[in-house]
A and B are shown apart, each in its own frame.
Chain A
Amino acid sequence: MKELQELAAKLLRDQNVQVVIGYEDGPAGVRPAFITDANDAARLIFDPRCVHNLATYLKPQRKHIAKLGKIAIVVKGCDARAVAGLIREQQITRENVIVIAVRCGGVLEKAPAKAAKKVELTEENVSVRCAGCEAREPKLYDYIVGELPTEPPVSSQRAGEIAQLEKMSTAERRKFWDEQFSRCIRCDACREVCPMCFCLQCVALRAQPQWIDSSPTPAANRAWQTMRMLHQAGRCVGCLECERACPKEIPLGLLTRYVAGVVDQRFGYKPCDDPSVPAPMGEIKTDDEEEFIR
């Protein structure tokens, strides 16, 4: 991705940027890259293997990254929504980050473990979040690179999983999720990779009062998972990083997508990459009639 590499090198050389966060090939596949030297900019790549949401590295608690200086970050559409979310919720200021948007034709569901060079997206391997994406050409950027690829295929693997969930009765759904959550070991990987989970002290970690027990028991797991989803409703950008990070393979992406569907239905809101568009749970309108609770 020559355009991207040259841009990154230029930003680093001209000294207004100290680190470019992007993607590179690592020993176990594509991974986040932190380029601090213009000569290393040639490591930057962008292709359908770049599934990670790098916006999480902008969270205020990533002090060891903020210490490096001014950041330029490579984002695809879903990631741009996360950067917009961090700006919208005042975790970062627009001026303090340089956004390099990449035009995206979709990414894989699972990033391959090895560095496979050319990857074609098919309906078997594409991420379920890509079909119908409205942010393939992100609107939040300081620079935008790449050609607009063709639209991503619709995932056949996971097509209909939400419909399946909707068909279940409440009791069946409860049983399904309890089974899934029973595997949770409370490692909190889902929270740490999520760009929108930026609370310096997560509600689940508070001991006074102990809102949620920290042990991985069924009741505490249910409380943790559902509380996190409720806190994410209307804010989650659907990047599916939580699902990717979970060492116990709990289908968190199914839950986030389901909740996003409910938010869309009820509030007509889909997360977007324009920070000035308010999120449904994040804004108070003084002229809100609040008909729904009368």
Chain B
Amino acid sequence: MNIYQPHLMRIAEITDETEDTRTLKLEFKDPAVAESFKFSAGQFGEYSVFGEGESTFCIASSPTRKGYIECSFKATGKVTQALRRLDTGDTIGFRGPYGNHFPIEKMKGNSVVFIAGGIGLAPVRCAIWNVLDMRDQFKDVTIVYGARSVGDLVYKRELEEWSKRTDLKICLTVDPGGETPEWKGEVARVPTAVEKTVAYAENTYAVICGPPIMIKFTLPVMDKLGFPAEHIYTTLENRMKCGLGKCGRCNIGATYVCKDGPVFTAAEMRAMPQEY
């Protein structure tokens, strides 16, 4: 078994989140691996369709839920298109977990704010469930999630579930023009929604993920609200292949996204050469 050999996974469930975003629930074919597999929120893996290749996504399910993992993806390239053609019962490969993770332990005893845009909710969702599955260990939990339009919102079932909970504050928003007549949430871009919804109390942590432009405009808002750059966590995407630090593809300066990341604080992002 060499380090490039994947686990075999069975596609247990397929959910179409939006027209172009699909979630797969994957079960380990090997019961011993299903039993022993551990990971932390924020880590990623290399998912493969045999014969087509591998693709990099975060693990979108929470580590508190055993025996399976989930991933969400858009069909943009050769491998993701091939993934979309598969059915429940089909076998794919999975290598992982790779990378670092959200500092869930450090966040315990504090308030946490989750901010996401579009498919960026996938890596954040993992952390959200991780926290909600241990709800009493955290103070306030706030979720701000938005997308270009109602149709682009992902994990709609869970958004509904979260909206019904009384132990968190949630703001769902769509960009102006993206609302439908039935839409009951906010109509504003994510950075604006963040400014309205989020407050900083001592030691509050933030987890942010979304399209680069959303992050670009949200970070100044966080700054204004008083969040120190060391308390803001995001997860970076970069072209990856091995996921193990050997193939030389994902580095940004001396930072290997697959080893030092993909989770970084805003302070670490600012210190990196802007080549991503």
Interface residues of A (CB under 8 A from B): 207-208, 210
Using Cβ atoms and an 8 Å threshold, which residues of chain A touch B78? Answer: 207-208, 210
The A/B interface has a contact count, at CB < 8 Å, of 7
Complex interface: chain B residues within 8 A of A208 (CB) = 77-78, 81
> Chain A nearest CB: distance from B247 CB in Å?
14
| B51-84 Cβ-contact flags toward A at 8 Å (1 or 0) | 0010000000000000000000000011001000
Nearest CB of A to B210, in Å: 26
7 A-B pairs within 8 Å (CB atoms) are namely A207-B53, A207-B77, A207-B78, A208-B77, A208-B78, A208-B81, A210-B78
- Hey, which chain A residues are within 8 Å of B77, CB to CB? 207-208
Q: Give the shortest distance, in Å, between B4 (CB) and chain A (any CB).
A: 15
Contacts of A210 in B (CB 8 A): 78
Top 4 closest pairs, chain A to chain B, by CB: A207-B78, A208-B78, A207-B77, A208-B81
In the complex, A208 Cα to B53 Cα: how many Å? 12
The residue on B at minimum CB distance from A209 is: B78
Residue of A nearest to B76 (CB): A208
Closest beta carbon of chain B to A65's beta carbon, Å: 20
Q: Which residues of B contact A (CB under 8 A)?
A: 53, 77-78, 81
A interface, by DSSP: helix, strand, loop or mixed?
loop
Q: In the complex, A208→B81 CA distance in Å?
A: 9
Docked complex Cα distance between A207 and B82 (Å)? 12
A267 to B78, CA, bound (A): 39
Once the chains are docked, how many angstroms separate the CA of A208 from the CA of B85?
14
Closest CB-CB distance, A213 to chain B, in whole Å?
Answer: 11
> Chain B residues with Cβ under 8 A from A207's Cβ?
53, 77-78
Q: Give Cα A207–Cα B239 distance, bound, in whole angstroms.
A: 15
B203 to chain A, nearest CB (A): 46
Q: Which residues on the A side are within 8 Å of B81 (C-beta)?
A: 208
B20 to chain A, nearest CB (A): 16
Q: Chain A contacts of B53 at CB under 8 A?
A: 207
Report the minimum CB–CB distance from A206 to chain B (whole Å). 9
B130 to chain A, nearest CB (A): 34
Q: What's the minimum C-beta distance from B239 to chain A, rounded to whole angstroms?
A: 13
Quick one: closest A residue to B82, CB to CB? A208
Separation of A22 and B145 alpha carbons in the complex (Å): 56
Complex Cα distance A207/B79, Å? 9
A215 to chain B, nearest CB (A): 12
* B82 CB → nearest A CB, Å: 9
- In the assembled complex, the Cα of A207 lies from the Cα of B52 at a distance in Å of 9
**Residue of B53, B78, B81 with highest tally of chain A CB at under 10 A:** B78
Residue of A nearest to B81 (CB): A208
Closest B residue by C-beta to A210: B78
Name the distance in Å between A83's Cβ and chain B's nearest Cβ: 34
Q: How far is the CA of A207 from the CA of B76 in the complex (A)?
A: 11
| A210, B81: Cα distance in complex, Å | 13
A252 to B127, CA, bound (A): 55
Closest CB of chain A to B148's CB: distance in Å? 25
Min Cβ gap B72→A in Å is 21
Question: In whole angstroms, how far apart are the Cα atoms of A208 and B76 in the complex?
Answer: 10
The residue on B at minimum CB distance from A207 is: B78
Complex Cα distance A208/B78, Å?
6
Task: Tell me the minimal C-beta distance from A211 to chain B in angstroms.
Answer: 12
Minimum Cβ distance to chain B for residue A162 (Å): 40
Of chain B, the residue at the smallest CB distance from A208 is: B78
CA distance A207 to B81 in the complex (A): 11
Please report the C-alpha to C-alpha distance between residue A97 and residue B189 in the assembled complex, in whole angstroms.
46
> Taking CB as reference atom, which chain A residue is nearest B79?
A207
Shortest CB distance B248–A (Å) = 16
**Chain A residue nearest to B53 in the complex (CB):** A207
Complex formed: what's the CA distance from A208 to B84 in Å? 14
Q: How many angstroms between the C-alpha atoms of A207 and B53 in the bound complex?
A: 10
- Shortest distance from the beta carbon of A28 to any chain B beta carbon, whole Å: 26
Kindly state the separation between the CA atoms of A207 and B78 in the bound complex, as whole angstroms: 6
Q: How far is the CA of A107 from the CA of B81 in the complex (A)?
A: 51
